[in-house]
Amino acid sequence: MTEDTRLLDLLRSAVPPVVAPAPSIDRWPLVVKRHRERTEWSWLDAGLAAAVVATLLTRPDWLVLLAYHF
């Protein structure tokens, strides 16, 4: 037995190959749920956006500062 074969045998004995099972549940609803969650605005997002707009309306010169970060 070569050293490589022995290492592979040991490795496969400790971390065996995966037998891919059939899907246990329908995961499509989870994909849709994640899509909706990530595309909806949270209250925090809306609050931050409102704060930025309000700040820029009162201090338009700060737009330069904001633009610097993009």
Partner 1 sequence: MLDEPDRSLLDRFVRGDEDAFESLFRQFEHDVYGWILRIVRDADAAEDVLVEAFWRAYRGRARFDSSRSFGAWMRRIATNAALDQVKRARRQGLRLPMDDPPAPAKPATEGLRDSIRSSFHRLSPKLQIVAALALIEERSYAEIADALDIPIGTVKSRVFRATRALRKDLARLGIRA
3-state SS assignment for residue 22: coil
Give me the least distance between CB of 29 and partner 1, in Å please. Answer: 10
Query: For residues 16-45, which are near partner 1 according to CB under 8 A?
Result: 16-18, 20-23, 27-28, 30-32, 34-35, 38
> Among residues 10 and 65, whose Cβ is nearest to partner 1?
10
Non-local (6+) Cβ contacts of 55 within 8 A are 62
Non-local (6+) Cβ contacts of 56 within 8 A are 62, 63, 66
Footprint of partner 1 (CB under 8 A):
3-4, 6-18, 20-23, 27-28, 30-32, 34-35, 38
